[in-house]
């Protein structure tokens, strides 16, 4: 019976990973929702780590890369999203320092601002609204102010 449950839990986890990389936390939470007990969950996670199917550092790197390229977000929003995915603070700090320097964040800001400006033609309060929009996308105040000052 235990072997059967363990195999079902592994199969479920493999299925989740077939769609996209996931963090240990995400797998743990999804298995909990399926009412697997903690011993089985930890055994599955341990096996997935041993097989190199689960790696929070790799997951965070892919997540940030995807966000930069397809759904741009600033440093603060990336940190928030990774935290929600259960990634350790040290890993988040290392990945963000490695992948999101000021120039990358400025490029993201320019892309987001251009997109926003295409849809918002009103001159009234433009900078205030643009700052709020960029802030909501997780762009740091330093980069927002630098961008506004340069434009």
| Domain spans in the chain, listed from the N-terminal domain onward | 2-50, 56-99, 102-150
Give the pLDDT of residue 121: 66
Whether residue 24 contacts residue 88, with contact meaning beta carbons closer than 8 Å, is answered with no
Q: Which residues contact 22 (CB under 8 A, 6 or more apart)?
A: 16, 30, 54, 59
| Mean predicted confidence (pLDDT) in 25-40 | 96
Q: How do residues 116-134 score in pLDDT, each as one tens digit?
A: 988 876 777 888 899 999 9
Has residue 77 got a pLDDT over 90? yes
Residue 27: pLDDT band with limits 50, 70, 90: very high
User: Domain 2-50: which CATH class?
Assistant: mainly alpha
| Mean predicted confidence (pLDDT) in 11-20 | 95
Name the average pLDDT for the chain.
Answer: 94
Q: How far apart are CA 137 and CA 112, in angstroms?
A: 8
Whether residue 27 contacts residue 48, with contact meaning beta carbons closer than 8 Å, is answered with yes
Q: How far apart are CA 144 and CA 125, in angstroms?
A: 15
| Mean predicted confidence (pLDDT) in 49-63 | 97
Q: Do domains 2-50 and 56-99 have the same CATH topology?
A: yes
Q: What's the CATH fold of domain 56-99?
A: Arc Repressor Mutant, subunit A (1.10.10)
SS3 call for 16? helix
Q: How far apart are CA 13 and CA 10, in angstroms?
A: 5
Q: How far apart are CA 110 and CA 84, in angstroms?
A: 26
């Amino acid at each position: 019976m235990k072997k059967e449950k363990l195999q079902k839990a592994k199969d479920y986890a493999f299925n989740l990973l077939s769609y996209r990389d996931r963090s240990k936390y995400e797998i743990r939470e999804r298995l909990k929702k399926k009412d697997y007990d903690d011993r089985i969950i930890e055994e599955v996670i341990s096996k997935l780590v041993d097989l190199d199917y689960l790696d929070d550092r790799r997951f965070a790197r892919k997540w940030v890369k995807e966000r930069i390229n397809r759904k741009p977000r600033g440093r603060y929003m990336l940190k928030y999203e990774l935290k929600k995915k259960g990634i350790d603070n040290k890993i988040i700090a290392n990945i963000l320092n490695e992948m999101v320097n000021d120039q990358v964040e400025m490029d993201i800001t320019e892309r987001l601002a251009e997109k926003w400006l295409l849809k918002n033609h009103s001159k009234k309060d433009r900078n205030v609204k643009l700052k709020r929009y960029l802030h909501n996308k997780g762009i740091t105040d330093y980069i927002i102010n630098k961008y506004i000052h340069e434009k």
